[in-house]
Amino acid sequence: MATVKQVDGFKYTTSIKKLRRLKKRIRVIPGGSSAGKTFSILPILIDQAIKNKGLEISVVSESIPHLRKGAVKDFLKILKVTNRYDDSKWNRTLLTYYFSNGSYIEF
**How far apart (Å, rounded) are the C-alpha atoms in residues 5 and 23?**
22
pLDDT digits (tens, 9 = 90+) for 67-89: 999 999 999 999 999 999 999 99
Give pTM, 2 decimals.
0.77
Which tens digits make up the pLDDT trace of 6-49?
Answer: 555 556 666 667 777 777 777 667 776 766 788 888 998 999 99
Which residues touch 64 (CB under 8 Å, ≥6 apart)?
95, 107
Beta strands in the chain (DSSP E): 4-7, 10-13, 56-58, 90-91, 96-98, 104-106
